[in-house]
Amino acid sequence: MVSLSTRQNEILTQAQTNGRVSVEELAARFDVSPQTIRKDLNDLCEARLLMRVHGGAMLASGVENLGYQARRLVAADQKRAIGAAAAALIPDKSSLFITIGTTTEEVARCLTHRSGLLVITNNLTVAAMLYPSTGIDVIVAGGAVRRADGAVIGDTTVELIRQFKVDVAVIGCSAIDDDGALLDFDYREVRVSQEIMTNARKVILVADQLKLERSAPVRIGHIGQIDTFVTDRLLSGPLRARCEAEGVTVIETDSEGEE
């Protein structure tokens, strides 16, 4: 059993609430030096409770995802920018799938005033967001609802998706490997995402750079199956090279460039 200090327990609690913590914010909160916080984070990472990311740490991942509300808070500004950039790629009078995910929800948020769209989704939040829009017809994929995040998943969902061939699919993922593997946590959700990719003429992947710092156990597919990858910053050289080799268009919303 790992013995944690009071401060380390509080840091872990904050990470569990928000999904991520930063060295700068923790140093100010506890009135200690950044070096002290880095040591705390290193201890928590050695205990496999947290995982270091640029400027701080996030909950360790592997077989279980962050809570959905926590995921909404992680990289929230980046997700909004990614959502706007992806929505700009979707023309009026088109049909599309939108999968479960906090970043795909940001795409939907930017579509609310569009016209002539048919949206098929397994995301109850997306459906609730779009159905009041008079220019958008919404179809909710049937099936069991996952209580944690309002995802509709399972065999019934897959069967409904197979009835459509849409113009655009907007998908997310929980992790991306440098070799281009797209990964997630729930195999039932992955089956839905795979069917959506199969039945779309164009696939847009929306994912922030933190997805390259995480791991997940279930394979959705490969970056080569994607037409456009919208992210905040693509810092992985191997993944960038893989995208170029596969003809994947990469759109980065962060114009500051590499640090």
Cα separation, 228 vs 253, whole angstroms: 13
Length of the chain: 259
The 8-class DSSP code of residue 142 comes to: P
Decide: helix, strand or coil at residue 72.
helix
Reduce the DSSP state of residue 67 to 3 states and report it: coil
- The Cα 85–Cα 37 span in angstroms is 35
One-letter amino acid for residue 98 of the chain? I
Select from 161, 162, 166, 185 the least CA-distant residue to 71: 185
Domain 70-252 has CATH 3.20.20.140: no
Residue 175 is inside which H or E element, if any? strand 175-176
H or E element that contains 197:
helix 187-198
> In the chain, which segments carry CATH 3.40.50.1360?
70-252
Q: How far is residue 239's CA from residue 181's CA, in Å, rounded to a whole number?
A: 10
Picking from 116, 127, 118, 137, the residue whose alpha carbon sits closest to that of residue 200 is 118
Q: Does domain 6-60 have CATH number 1.10.10.10?
A: yes
Question: SS3 for 52?
Answer: strand
Q: Which of 80, 70, 139 is nearest to 106 (CA)?
A: 80
Written as one letter, the residue type at 66 is: L
Instruction: Residue 223: name the closest of 258, 171, 185, 188 by CA.
Output: 171
Q: Which residues contact 186 (CB under 8 A, 6 or more apart)?
A: 65, 146, 153, 218
| Backbone dihedral angles phi then psi of residue 35, each to the nearest 5 degrees | -60, -40
CA distance 225 to 204: 10
> Where do the CATH 1.10.10.10 domains begin and end in the chain?
6-60
Q: 68 burial class (0-12, 13-18, 19+ CB within 10 angstroms)?
A: middle
Query: Could you list the pLDDT tens digit for every one of the 259 residues in the chain?
Result: 457 888 998 998 888 777 789 999 999 999 999 999 999 999 888 877 788 888 999 876 554 455 555 666 667 788 999 999 999 999 999 999 999 988 999 999 999 999 999 999 999 999 999 999 999 999 999 888 988 788 898 899 999 999 999 999 999 999 999 999 999 988 888 999 999 999 999 999 999 988 888 888 999 999 999 999 999 999 999 999 999 999 999 999 985 544 3
What's the rounded Cα separation, in Å, for the pair 257 and 10? 34
Residue type, 43: D
Contacts 24+ apart (CB under 8 A), 34-39: 37/11
Identity at 30, one-letter amino acid code = F
- Contact at 8 Å (CB) between 98 and 253? no
pTM for this predicted structure: 0.77
